Amino acid sequence: MITSCAFNEVMKLVWSGGRPTLSSRPVAEEKAIALSYNGSSHAVMMATPADLSDFGVGFALTEGLVEKVDEILSIELVETDLGIEIRMWLDQKRTRFFLVRRRAILGPIGCGLCGIESLEQACPAPPQVANGTMFRARDLLNAMRGLAPLQSFNRKTRSMHAAAFWDPTIGIGPVREDVGRHNALDKLAGALARHNIACSTGAILLTSRVSVELVQKTAMIGVPVLIAISAPTTLAIETAEKAGITLIAVAREDGYEVFTHPDRLIFSENGMIAA
């Protein structure tokens, strides 16, 4: 039984107006989360101990350890004094693949490339996403506006990232949060796969900057649009261009910046595609 939660109430001393006052604050949980496959440890991440089954499945998918969720035969969460282990067992085909790639990785927050052994591994050719769906620019803006109220953990702690999926027919959902932006996206990937949600007609919403790993994971998930609050890196832009992803960033209340594949967007209010 996992007893951890996403945040805990912590006592603090507040100094304001020249006087100290004893108070409390909800603070985000951060624990060591080990991911193991068929009894072999593969990665240790510092993450928020919530939605961990989604995290395990999503990490396996976005890292290419499995191609489909049903290649994971079972998943078990085991809590220890040092952290939590996500134990996954793969089918025979993926087990052989895993053993070939097996390596020791230590992946702290903010670093998605620890343990990579070559430049080719760091910058693989991304999968191509589906190219048929058009999106209204204003709908995507409204989607980002609607994300903040759904960040239940961040409203309390003010220290968590969110990754969410938006579809023009059903709106926002699911939403996953974590102290690490990569972890939040992996949790979202797992939730989408476990609930068999079609991804090719929607967008991923992020409350972070956009580095290349987030674009690579988006391509692995198969989502054609990625929109974020903060700015992208040059390599993120180059990778989104190659993957066929519409990369939108610096999203604010009144607009955003489009860095790749703007042809997927309908900018005019009357539904016509802008030249």
Please name the residue ranges forming H helices in the chain.
Answer: 52-62, 92-101, 119-122, 137-145, 152-157, 181-194, 212-221, 234-243
CATH T-level fold of 31-122: Ubiquitin-like (UB roll) (3.10.20)
CATH topology for 135-266 is Cytidine Deaminase; domain 2 (3.40.140)
Give SS3 for 203: strand
Is 199 part of the annotated catalytic residue set?
Answer: no
Domains 31-122 and 135-266 share a fold: no
Kindly write down the DSSP assignment for every residue of 234-247, as one continuous string.
Answer: HHHHHHHHHHT-EE
Q: Of these residues, 111, 114, 123, 199, which one is catalytic?
A: 111
From first to last of its 275 residues, the chain has per-residue pLDDT tens of 565 689 999 999 999 999 999 999 999 999 999 999 999 888 999 999 999 999 999 999 999 999 999 999 999 999 998 999 999 999 999 998 888 777 544 444 444 455 555 566 667 789 999 878 899 999 999 999 999 999 999 999 999 999 999 999 999 999 999 999 999 999 999 999 999 999 999 999 999 999 999 999 999 999 999 999 999 999 999 999 999 999 999 999 999 999 999 999 999 887 554 44
Task: Annotate 142-155 with b (16+ C-beta within 10 A) or e (fewer).
Answer: ebbeebeebbebbe
Spell out the domain ranges in the chain. 31-122, 135-266
